[in-house]
Amino acid sequence: MDTPVIAVEIPLVGDERRKHWAKLVTAVDPSKASGWAYEGEFIADGGIQDVPSNSVLLCYGETGSRANPRPQATVFLVHPDGTVSEVQAASGRAWARTLRDKVEELLGDDRPSRLGWEPSIELFSDEALATELIRRGWSLQNPDSHESTRTTDTKDE
């Protein structure tokens, strides 16, 4: 099954006037203790980007003055529901080594890329669930009738 791509807000860490970046981390080189240990694709931060579900996101930024910048970095996890949660943060010159073990751990975890059944799904009405399934292309049969319902047309009535 392909990992779904979802739109999420990529956080901006640090001062937007200073150096800042975000990277979708795909691997970690354990022989390095600097930012070069993190392999992956750079993406724009401070806005919405399309990223794979369950991505490990590393955001870096600086605060302070140009003469005396203070590095800050935060590891985020992108969830299948489009939310982003902070996993760990570090600041100072040792930020890369401080975060390296946690990023390796996250990359090794086997997390589902799609949401499964949750108790909260029972809170939705039958009509809301049916509408969503029809929107996804499913054919449904109303249990009170013997008619099959499938509306693939999006015409206004």
Tens-digit pLDDT profile for residues 33-45: 999 999 999 999 9
Residues 97-127 as b or e (16 or more Cβ within 10 Å = b): ebbbeebeebeeeeeeeeeeeeeeeeeeeee
pLDDT over threshold 80, residue 123: no
According to the model, what pLDDT value does residue 76 have? 96
- Mean pLDDT (whole number) for 121-135: 79
According to the model, what pLDDT value does residue 56 have? 95
pLDDT band at 120 (very low <50, low <70, confident <90, very high): low
58 closest CA partner among 83, 87, 82: 87
Averaged confidence pLDDT in the chain? 85
- Mean pLDDT (whole number) for 70-91: 93
Burial class (CB in 10 A: 0-12, 13-18, 19+), 91: middle
pTM reported for the whole predicted model: 0.69
pLDDT band at 157 (very low <50, low <70, confident <90, very high): very low
According to the model, what pLDDT value does residue 119 have? 59
- Mean pLDDT (whole number) for 31-58: 94
